Amino acid sequence: MSDLSQLPLEELLEQIQDNLYGGQPEPVVAGVHELLRRGLTPYDALTKGLIAGMDVVGEDFRTGKLFVPQVLMAAKAMKAGMEVLRPLLAETGAPRIGTLVIGTVKGDIHDIGKNLVGMMMEGAGFQVVNLGINTDVEKFLHAVREHAADILGMSALLTTTMPYMRVVIQALKESGLREKLIVLVGGAPLNADFAKQIGADAYCRDAAKAVETAKRLMAEKMGGALV
Amino acid sequence: MGTMLFEAGLTSGDSPERWNVERPDVIRGVHRAYQAAGSRILLTNTFGGNRFRLALHGLETRVPELNEAAARLAAEVAHAPGGNAVVAGDIGPSGGILAPLGDLERHDAVKGFAEQAAALHAGGVDVFWIETMSALEEVEAALEGVRQVAPGMPVVITLSFDTHGHTMMGVSPEQAAKELTALGAAAVGGNCGLGPAELLPAMVAMHATVPDAVLVAKPNAGLPVLEDGRAVYRGSPEEMADYARRLTAAGVRIIGACCGSAPAHLRAMAEALGVTA
């Protein structure tokens, strides 16, 4: 590895992004440390280094240039960089990007797509609480309250389990949690019409779309002041 | 099979494999209907019959029982007097991703697939049918599992090309054709994924890559569309029959149908290919 301290900032950022793209955790961590050494705020290191890099990964995943294995590797590298930044972000009072609670609904056991969304959302700087598969209403509601979630993501791969999303949204309404929450749904058999019918805020076709939608709706929610 | 079981009252979240012991009459009936429609290969009702998938229903200790029962049910139909089909022991994905990328250790995967294969073998399958796979690493683990317990048995391997013409894990039809034949599969191809229109170009690519390989195509009955919150496959028997001809013309030798298909589809396909039931 070249001496990072000699690199112009632009090149250093580019190198971090390349290393994220290539799924190389150690160089990403080294790059993040170098950004901090140069006096960048943890928030800038996050947005200009890691998030910018993951944006490229998301875009190339969306267009079929990258596939699940490369995205998982990139997400692991992102996570390593994020571990350096997370405590500092809290200390420095950096703007909060948002918290996502995500799970596959009751009766459904598919989790690869949902995990991918979780990782890409972490890649975009969100705090992610992954409830796993076969998640019932009580578990969703409890997690939304406990983590003061901004976004709830629900996944279903089966046509027979999709209707459960409506049950969760209904329960959120009854508990007074729905209004402040952004509800995103996804899974192979769903579409935008279905999302609308059940009262979700949006249907997200894939993980990249989920990140894009989450950012847009969070910005609207916070009054347009975000990434 | 799954589509037929949902028609017969299987509900969401239930394990279809449980019906191999609880509703054997239904499973046998589905096999009979497909054989009568002209099917020459009957797949056992064991797509989710490995311990990783059965664990999600709390059934992981019943792998031997459920798989052996499934094989026997298909064999009772195919090997009965007048029966004229072979029994393929269906092995689907674990649902996990192999280490180091994911959490499933390779030796655990091999062990799990071997356990399923042993039970299918004991139940009397004629061939193993590893399908809907996305990752070559998992295919290799499944194949190793099968070979541990049934060396010398023919194995068919098909992948699901559902993501930009590749599998979810990024395997292209060309790469699949090369690597799966190199593994010694008796036949290779594509299944599930999207509809027949999307599978056709993948089969053309596989044929161009390995012209001598026996190719298998088993598409869904069209793409699912939502109707009142239910997914419906609108691919008609006629459409599937048309694709059966086109796939054959593209060099495919074994043709079947996956999600959304019923005996009516298979009958139309068999007729289109000149198979008499």
CA A173 to CA A179: how far, in whole Å? 7
List the one residue out of B18, B195, B74, B218 whose CA is nearest residue B133: B218
CA A91 to CA A105: how far, in whole Å? 35
A155-209 tens-digit pLDDT = 998 777 888 999 999 999 999 999 999 999 999 878 899 999 999 999 998 888 9
Interface test with chain A among B51, B54, B101, B104, by most A beta carbons within 10 Å: B101
Neighbours of B208 (CB within 10 A): 13
Least confident span in A110-119, B17-26, B31-40 = A110-119
| Chain A residue nearest residue B54, CA to CA | A109
Task: List the single residue in A68, A133, A189 with the smallest CB-CB distance to B226.
Answer: A189
* Mean pLDDT taken over chain B: 94
pLDDT of residue A197: 92
User: Which residues of chain A lie closer than 8 angstroms to B3, CB-CB?
Assistant: none
Q: For chain B, what percent of residues have pLDDT higher than 70?
A: 97
B81-134 tens-digit pLDDT = 989 999 999 999 998 899 998 889 999 999 999 999 999 999 999 999 999 999
Complex confidence, ipTM:
0.88
Check B165 against A66: CB less than 8 A apart: no
List the one residue out of A126, A130, A55 whose CA is nearest residue A97: A126
pLDDT of residue A160: 76
Find out whether B193 and B201 touch, Cβ atoms under 8 Å: no
Rounded to the nearest angstrom, the minimum Cα separation between A64 and chain B is 6
Q: What contacts B65, CB < 8 A, 6 or more positions away? A: B21, B119
Task: List the single residue in B56, B166, B230 with the smallest CB-CB distance to A67.
Answer: B166
Check A109 against B95: CB less than 8 A apart: yes
| Chain B residue nearest residue A111, CA to CA | B95
What global pTM score does this model have? 0.88
User: Which residues of chain B lie closer than 8 angstroms to A112, CB-CB?
Assistant: 95, 97, 168
* Dihedral angle of Cα B208, B198, B187, B115, to the nearest 10 degrees: 140
Task: List the single residue in A107, A108, A189 with the smallest CB-CB distance to B224.
Answer: A189
Rounded to the nearest angstrom, the minimum Cα separation between A38 and chain B is 33
A-contacting residues in B 33-52 (Cβ below 8 Å):
none
DSSP secondary structure letter of residue A6: G
Among A49-58, A79-88, B2-11, B65-74, top mean pLDDT goes to: B65-74
Check A69 against B101: CB less than 8 A apart: yes
B9 part of contact set with chain A, CB < 8 Å: no
Rounded to the nearest angstrom, the minimum Cα separation between A101 and chain B is 21
pLDDT of residue B224: 74
B12 part of contact set with chain A, CB < 8 Å: yes
CA A24 to CA B136: how far, in whole Å? 23
User: Which residues of chain B lie closer than 8 angstroms to A108, CB-CB?
Assistant: 12-13
A-contacting residues in B 55-74 (Cβ below 8 Å):
56
Sign of CA dihedral A34, A40, A45, A49: negative
Enter the tokens of residue B45. 């009702």
pLDDT of residue A221: 87
> How many contacts (CB atoms, under 8 Å) link A and B?
64
User: Which residues of chain A lie closer than 8 angstroms to B134, CB-CB?
Assistant: 68
Rounded to the nearest angstrom, the minimum Cα separation between A67 and chain B is 5
Res. B24: pLDDT tops 50: yes
Q: For chain A, what percent of residues have pLDDT higher than 90?
A: 70
Sign of CA dihedral A68, A71, A77, A83: negative
Rounded to the nearest angstrom, the minimum Cα separation between B169 and chain A is 5
